[in-house]
Amino acid sequence: MPLSKERQATILLIIAALIWGGGFVAQRVAMDYMGPFTFNAVRFGLGGLSLIPVVMIMEKGGISKITLAAGLAAGTVLFAAAALQQWGIMTVGSASKAGFITGLYIVLVPILGMLVGRKTSKYVWIGAAVATIGLYLISAPDGLTAIDIGSIALLAGAFGWAIHILVIDRFVERIKPLGFSVVQCLVCSVFSFGAAFAFEDVQMSQIAAGYLPVLFSAFVSVCIAYTLQIVGQRHVPPGRSAIIFSTESIFGAIGEATLLGTFLDGRGYLGGGFIFAGILISQMQKRLKKVGNKS
């Protein structure tokens, strides 16, 4: 029996989450070679350019005005979110920690959705409280006065990713997904190049030395995974998309332990567990409704 469009889309989103989880490792390794703005500029630039031939083959008629407008909006948000995330990863030096804190954007999606008229259940607020405990455990091992600036940047980036999901949801029914991906990636790349030349010492030798994480991030994390996100969100609502994306923090922790042999301490993993539990709790009402409708 063929899979429904929603199940096919769900599989695509799970693959995207798996790729992004591994991408945290690549992003961590890349910081040994270059600055965060330089890395984002190159990976999003290469990712966007590599999609152009695919757009020309699969999406006839060029990029529409609404696709261009949506890409400009999403690309601007993407620049801010990616810059904060990458700087945070560089500062905390842990893909696992970055993955768990970034995962808080799943809780933030329904909370920020209230600003555009979406209802938010009590489970979201309970989940947010549980996730906040996890954030404290993972980012403040010596008390509130020891919360590191990298964790704050990652949390700010989580707000950016939540906004990014809401922007996509607003336009997803009216855009061509591949053309949208090209525009948002190139917009993010242009802003990142501007910031790189303003604040970093951009060296081609550094980029060449870190070519492996750059290529993975450009062609797999950006080109493939972001396109899977756009296509998948056409048939999966934001709340369910968010809980699928939450698994990227788990994939990131597994990837870092497997590939780099790096582990958090017990308090860090406990905090990650609280964050993941908060994410699941925040989506509980949707799952209860779905079960109720089947009974």
Residue 255 scores a pLDDT above 70? yes
Tell me: the pLDDT tens digits for 45-54?
Answer: 999 998 888 7
Tell me the CB-side half-sphere exposure of residue 2, using CA atoms within 13 A.
2
98-156 pLDDT, tens digit per residue, is: 887 887 887 788 788 877 776 777 887 787 788 778 777 776 655 545 567 888 899 99
Whole-model pTM: value is 0.79
- Domain with 143 in it: 5-294
pLDDT value of position 264: 67
Q: How far is CA 259 from CA 167, 210, 220, 252, 255, in A?
A: 34, 16, 17, 10, 6
Residue owning tokens 């919360």: 147
Q: How far apart are alpha carbons 65 and 196 in whole angstroms?
A: 29
Contacts of 162 (CB under 8 A, 6+ apart): 105, 106, 108, 109, 111, 112
- Count Cβ atoms below 10 Å from residue 174 Cβ, excluding itself: 12
Per-residue pLDDT tens digits for 168-223 = 888 878 888 888 989 999 999 999 999 999 999 999 999 999 999 999 999 898 88
Please tell me the total count of domains within the chain: 1
